[in-house]
Structure 1
Amino acid sequence: MFKKLFGEHGAKNVVTLFHKPSSQPSTRVFTILKQAHATAVSHSTEDQASSHTAQEKAERHEFELDVTEEAPTSDQLKNILEYLGGPTAGAAGKIIKGARDESDALRRLNDDGESFVRPVVVDWNQGKAVAGENESEILNLLRSIPKETKKA
């Protein structure tokens, strides 16, 4: 499983949405990701003999979409904070209510998983994350997924 998640040749990137269905921003992000995933999957299954010139411009690289309503683990939270720019970027306060820094964020997460602010989109393979519902940032993250290379 670790090989598949962390860049095995031919494996898809895993993009996780930390989701809260009762949150409108989270629901909007979920819709964006579902649409992007459907687009990526449909492009990968097109008949190889057909013309792809128009599709290539809009192509999204394939990824596995993982949606969870759970808060991240402590290790995941450390990675997410790093992906958001590290301790000097103020990332802790963006994704953990009231957190001042990484250690405060970890303490608050362990005390109350509800302090984790959703939505957060994470591309574990590339080490990138987007906190909130900024559609252009999310789409940029998805566009930066490396094109899948298939074994010959």
Structure 2
Amino acid sequence: MFSAFKKSIPQISIFHNSSSPPSAKALAALRSATSSPYPPGKSNARPLKFNLEVLENTPPTPDQIRTILTYLPPARSADDPSDPHHVARLISTHPSAPSLPDRPSSAEGLSRLAQSNPHAVRWPIIVDWTNGKAVAGDSEGVKDILEHLRKRRDGEIKEEADHKPTGWFS
């Protein structure tokens, strides 16, 4: 009866570095999805509805880093640390990034590194806080987040928390 109260507009943040081409491309895709038909080739499609927070040249806080690491998809390559929540997944391969023995091993260390050397971070970091999804350093990864939102909008994915009365009222 009151299912409309359960729906919320997804909250998406992009930790954006304006000097990073992948970050600029991802930000453009997010903005386009809220103002133009999505997917782009379908003229009868509606734009996606989500709140977009752009955090320009601002790294995530240590608490945000810990959450983001749990939202990232599982590591794909064998050279990644065995811990899927390891902060090294957010460190770039830029020449100014620290080498393996000098890399931070905590969210606090990564946050300090990002503040002192923005090139050491994989930009952009895009987080869908509502659906628990994140991508880092990949402008193509934004498509996965947008496609998930489109599937929800179009009813291809059902709400996980469908509350149906049980017991007395059912």
Instruction: Please give the range of the TM-score, normalised by the shorter of the 2 chains.
Output: 0.5 to 0.7
Structure 2, unaligned runs of 5 or more: 75-81, 93-97, 156-170
Correspondence for 1:140:
144
Q: Is 1:79 equivalent to 2:67 in the alignment?
A: yes
Aligned partner (choices 103, 118, 140) of residue 123 of structure 2: 118
In the TM superposition, what whole-angstrom CA distance separates every residue of 1:83-132 from its partner, at most 9, and x where no partner exists?
114763375223135578xx714142243323433101110000000112
Alignment of 1:2-151 (within 5 A): 9-39=6-36, 55-56=44-45, 59-69=46-56, 70-85=58-73, 88-89=83-84, 92-97=87-92, 104-112=105-113, 113=115, 114=118, 115-135=120-140, 137-145=141-149, 146-147=152-153
Identity value in percent? 27
Over 3 Å counting, the alpha-carbon distance change for 1:38 and 1:148 in structure 2 is: same
SS of 2:153 mapped into structure 1: coil
Q: Which one has the bigger helix percentage?
A: 1
Shift of 1:138: 1.4
Higher relative contact order (CA 8 A, sep 6+): 1
Q: How far apart in 1 are the matches of 2:145 and 2:55? A: 19
> How many pairs does the alignment contain?
126
Which amino acid is 1:104 matched to?
Answer: S
Shift of 1:60: 4.9
In the TM superposition, what whole-angstrom CA distance separates every residue of 1:50-95 from its partner, at most 9, and x where no partner exists?
xxx9524xx4531111100211111110011011147633752231
Shift of 1:10: 3.8
TM-score by length of structure 1 reads 0.67
Correspondence for 1:45:
none
RMSD (Å), alpha carbons? 3.1
Contact 1:62 1:148 in 2 (8 A): no
TM-score by length of structure 2 reads 0.61
